[in-house]
Structure 1
Amino acid sequence: MSGNTITQPATPAVSTKPTPSTVAPVPAGATGATVSQSRAARELVLKRGEFDLAVQLGCVRTIVDDGGGGSRVARSEIDRLRGEQGFPEMLRERVKAVGTTAGAELLEVTTAKFTRFARLGLIAPVRFYLNRYRAVVWLYLAEELRQFKADEKNTHLLKGRIPEELRKRLDAGLDLRPRNWRGRHLGFLLRQTEDPWARAAASASLLDPLQVAEIVRDPYERAYLNRHRPARADQATPESPAARITASIMTADDPDEIEWLRADVRQSLAEARTRRAAPRPGGEKPRPPGKARSAHDTRHETRLVVAARPAPHLPNSEPRPEERRPHGALRPAPDLPNGVRRPERHRPTTHDAPERRGLLGWLRRRHP
């Protein structure tokens, strides 16, 4: 995806120092046990994107709404975060995401060198989006970049040249940004649920549908996985160019990654089947996992059905197959009472018989 990636332009820094009216006060009459995510974002002085990232990173804990209204935030969780020292700037710094230009400034390197670090997997993106030119813009956590800079093991990379071996991998087209994002995104999804079917669906969402069909043979289980499939990371129109680019980022393409995800789906499915089976119409029992219907089984079941089917009812004028006489055999004449003459058998003429075609019919008409 390096061909679709651009560098963000530099933007002036915006001060996040709160003013007396910055921190939204909690209403005195708010006594509910939970609040919606939009209200929690307002009370924590976070934009909606920052709040979603805080939930994914585990900075804000959510609970599942029993009424099916999505995740909510407990009032006690909001009180805990508001009571931390340095609120709200400390919380906002933990979820601050920057682009390539701002990230290069934090590391005090060029944007080209910063991009090489990201492609090598030394720093992992936390989010991405497509701009109006359908180019991929990667975002990174500012806190992780500061930690990368403070680590003495990375000093030679920041101050000197990138080793020759790593440069060869870059020249070969190495770009680990999509894979690192997928790994981080999968961690986000797994932290948000304990349901085994949802965990299996999270891993399956990063695989190609054909890969999922090879692992999950049962169509009802595949449908149940799709029901628990997490929402897409974008809101692009299906089958649009933007949707295809996003799908390519969200689909594993490395053989090692694909094999790891397939193994994770199998393990999660095995656990999910023990917890509860996928729903089926009419109370049909699930087929044992890994037991696929073969062509031999299908032919054997067909023979059993035909053998068990009763013989069809035939009219009196048509004998049953087992009662049919050999070709040329005469039916024995029934006994008649005395004085009753047997009616003469009517022999059809050429006018009565249907017209015969071919040489044999023409000879029979000339020599009746």
Structure 2
Amino acid sequence: MKREEFQLAVQLGFVRTVPGAMPGTAEGAADPTRRRVARSEIERLTKAPDFPEGLRERVRSVGTSEGAQLLSISKERFARLARTGHFSPVRFYVNRYRAVVWLYPAAELGEFALTHPGLLTGRLPLDVRIRADGGEDWRPRNWRARRLGMLLRASGDPWVRTAAIASLLDPVQLAEVVDDPFERAYLDRFRPAPPSWRPTTPAAREIADRLLLADDPDEILWHRMSLALALDEARADRQAPWPGAPPPGGHPLAPPGSILAALGVPMPATAPLGLPATAPATLPSPAPAVRPQTALPGGDAAGPVPGPAPTGPASSGPASSGPASSGPASSGPAPAGLAGGPMSPGEASLGPASPGPASLGTASAGPARPPGGIRPPGRRTRRSLLDRLRGRKEVRSRPGG
């Protein structure tokens, strides 16, 4: 089979797949985003009496002209039935005129001819004519629904299923339903890849990308509600990771100093990166900054305005009894206190002293998710589905909303 035929067979459910192994794992952990065909499924398909012609015929797709010939109707009638949602396309492509060409499964068209013979002859029903004349086009919506069904059947992981629903909404709609940025980032990890047959040219790809997102208001509302319900199920299964959370193994990473202290190895105190362990003996004092004289409104010239007091080297003598300077702290080299040693009274403290070996004996517990309903710092409080719907109703009820 060709690659396109095999992909259609998987999408239509004729070939069953299972989660593939995650690359780089010796244990063979399942990766919900990768699918493969089991050997037993290949044996089942090859043992069929009509293999491979029968499978090729079941996945054969036709356009409007060939589909109209298959149903023995005109192309206009076929297009009206397709726009009103009587059969769903399985694929599309953008031709050189930037027009979307829809493809339909030939097997489903044959079943439609057997189950709805009244729609193939005579005058179309009134409701079908009204919908067709009103400009309805259900082909993009039906194709998205078919693709979503395939994605939901392909995985049982709640977060993967939620990401499949979220892929049908634009970023603005998604942010209104999933107000937690960490959850949106987690859903983006499981976002399904676009179809491999998507156009490559920029103009055609832009048209295809628009067809991937829901555009009808009823369809958007349906997917928003589905996403909110699926998100509640995913949260009940497990929480989305956030920065500082322990790895999936369950044990938080301990600081390096706590490991050395547990082994009884003293850890020498070091200065912060980029700062020397000890301050030099003498530092040159910068010249005081003097602003130029400016004329006052009365005509008198203002005297020179002295700049901030120079910060010289740390002195070991008695401290000055003058008022404390309100200028910025000196950014000179680190004093000896940062290296773990005692600080002299004249030295200016640039930060807390580094802990010595004695303070490394207690291993600090790694970051863990706050218990209960406490949210990590920076995360917004989740709203229930009812609160979100109420907020949406209030926005619509505002004047000019």
TM-score between both structures, scaled by the size of structure 1: 0.62
Task: Say if 2:19 and 2:155, in contact at 8 Å, map to a contact too.
Answer: no
How many angstroms does 1:361 deviate by? 7.2
Partner of 1:194: 156
Matched, 1:94 2:87: no
How many angstroms does 1:166 deviate by? 2.1
Say if 1:167 and 1:357 are closer, same or farther in 2 by CA, change over 3 A: same
- Give the secondary structure class of the aligned counterpart of 2:92: strand
* Number of residue pairs matched by the alignment: 245
Select the residue among 141, 153, 159 that pairs with 2:121.
159
Partner of 2:21: 66
Task: Say if 2:64 and 2:102, in contact at 8 Å, map to a contact too.
Answer: yes
Partner of 1:213: 175
Question: Gaps spanning 5+ residues in structure 2: where?
Answer: 24-30, 247-292, 302-401
Select the residue among 75, 83, 95 that pairs with 1:131.
95
Distance 2:95 2:213 in 1: 20
Partner of 1:172: 134
How many angstroms does 1:74 deviate by? 1.4
1:308-343 deviations in Å (ceiling 9; x for gaps): xxxxxxxxxxxxxxxxxxxxxxxxxxxxxxxxxxxx
Distance 2:179 2:14 in 1: 38
What amino acid is the match of 1:87?
A: F
1:72-109 deviations in Å (ceiling 9; x for gaps): 21111111111122222221121111111111111000
Distance 1:247 1:74 in 2: 32
Partner of 1:57: 12
Distance 1:126 1:175 in 2: 15
Task: Say if 2:178 and 2:184, in contact at 8 Å, map to a contact too.
Answer: yes
How many angstroms does 1:155 deviate by? 2.3
How many angstroms does 1:355 deviate by? 9.2
Partner of 1:182: 144
1:38-67 deviations in Å (ceiling 9; x for gaps): xxxxxxxx1111101111111111122223
Select the residue among 227, 239, 255 that pairs with 2:217.
255
Residues 204-353 of structure 1: matches in 2 within 5 Å? 204-233=166-195, 234-236=197-199, 240-283=202-245
Select the residue among 77, 98, 101 that pairs with 1:113.
77
1:111-152 deviations in Å (ceiling 9; x for gaps): 11111110011111111111233221111111111111112x
Say if 1:356 and 1:49 are closer, same or farther in 2 by CA, change over 3 A: closer
1:216-239 deviations in Å (ceiling 9; x for gaps): 11111111111111111254459x
What amino acid is the match of 2:203?
A: P
Q: Which has the larger radius of gyration?
A: 1
Distance 2:148 2:4 in 1: 18
Question: Gaps spanning 5+ residues in structure 1: where?
Answer: 1-45, 285-353, 363-368
Distance 1:257 1:220 in 2: 26
RMSD over aligned Cα atoms? 2.2
- Give the secondary structure class of the aligned counterpart of 1:140: strand
| Structure 1 or 2: more helix by fraction | 1
What amino acid is the match of 2:63?
A: G
What amino acid is the match of 2:230?
A: S
Say if 1:167 and 1:235 are closer, same or farther in 2 by CA, change over 3 A: closer
How many angstroms does 1:249 deviate by? 1.4
1:240-292 deviations in Å (ceiling 9; x for gaps): 322221122111122221111011111111111122222221229xxxxxxxx
Select the residue among 108, 111, 114 that pairs with 1:144.
108
Distance 1:355 1:171 in 2: 79
Say if 1:360 and 1:61 are closer, same or farther in 2 by CA, change over 3 A: same
What amino acid is the match of 2:241?
A: P
